[in-house]
A and B are shown apart, each in its own frame.
Chain A
Amino acid sequence: MEIMNLVVTGTVGAGKTTFIRSVSEIEVVDTDRKATDDVANLKQNTTVSMDFGTLQFGDEMALHIYGTPGQTRFDFMWEILIERAHAYVLLIAAHRPSEFHHARRIMNFMNRQANIPMIIGLTHSDCEGAWSSEDIALALGYQEITQQPPIVLVDANDGESVAIALVALVQHYMEITAKAEVAV
Chain B
Amino acid sequence: MSLAGHLSEYSLAEIFHFVQDGNKTGVLSIEPDIGASKFIKDPHYISFQSGRIMSVANGSGLGNRGLLKMMSQRKWLSSEQVSTLETQVSLLTQPLGTYLKSRNAVNTEQLSLLFNSQVVATACKLFEIHRGQFSFNPKAPLAYAEMTGLSLTAQEVALLGLRMLKNWDGLATKLPDPESGLQRFSTNLGGLRLDTPELQVWKLSLGEMPISKIALSLGLDVDKVQQIGFRLSSIGLVHEVSVEPAQPPVNKMMDVPKPVCVDGGNAAVPVSASFLSNLMGFLKKKG
Contacts and interface: CB of A to CB of B under 8 A. Distances in A.
Interface of A: 1-5, 23, 29, 31, 33, 35-36, 38-39, 48, 50, 52, 55, 57-58, 61-64, 66, 72-73, 75-77, 79-81, 83-86, 94, 97-98, 101, 104-105, 108-109, 112-114, 116, 125, 129-132, 134-135, 138-139, 141, 143, 159-161, 163-164, 166-167, 170-171, 173-174, 177
Contacts, number: 162
Contacts of B248: 38-39, 76
B283 A167 contact: yes
B246 A75 contact: yes
14 contacts: A4-B279, A5-B264, A35-B256, A39-B255, A48-B256, A66-B259, A72-B246, A97-B9, A125-B1, A129-B4, A139-B14, A139-B18, A173-B276, A174-B280
A127 to B, nearest CB: 10
B18 to A, nearest CB: 4
Interface stretch (B85-93, B99-107, B221-229, B234-242): B234-242
Contacts of A116: 267
B219 interface: no
A38 B248 CA distance: 8
A57 B287 contact: no
A16 B255 CA distance: 25
B22 A66 contact: no
Given A39-B256, A84-B267, A113-B245, A97 B10 contact: yes
Given A63-B279, A64-B265, A116-B267, A108 B257 contact: no
A2 B287 contact: no
B284 interface: yes
Contacts of B8: 98
Contact of B264 (A31, A48, A62): A62
Contacts of A1: 264
Most chain A CB atoms below 10 A, which of B241, B249, B259: B259
Contacts of B282: 55, 57
Given A75-B242, A108-B239, A166-B283, A132 B18 contact: no
A135 B279 contact: no
Given A31-B259, A39-B252, 5 more contacts: A5-B266, A55-B282, A80-B259, A112-B241, A132-B3
Most chain A CB atoms below 10 A, which of B18, B275, B283: B283
Contacts of B247: 75-76
B256 A163 contact: no
Interface residues of B, number: 52
A171 B239 contact: no
B253 interface: yes
Given A52-B261, A167-B287, A134 B22 contact: yes
A141 B256 CA distance: 33
Contacts of A129: 2, 4-5
A62 B14 CA distance: 43
B242 A29 contact: no
B208 to A, nearest CB: 12
A5 B246 contact: no
A1 B272 CA distance: 12
A31 B257 contact: yes
Interface string B17-38: 1100110000000000000000
Contact of B252 (A38, A108, A131, A177): A38
B284 A167 contact: yes
A167 B265 CA distance: 19
B191 interface: no
Nearest to B241: A108
A76 B245 contact: yes
B128 to A, nearest CB: 21
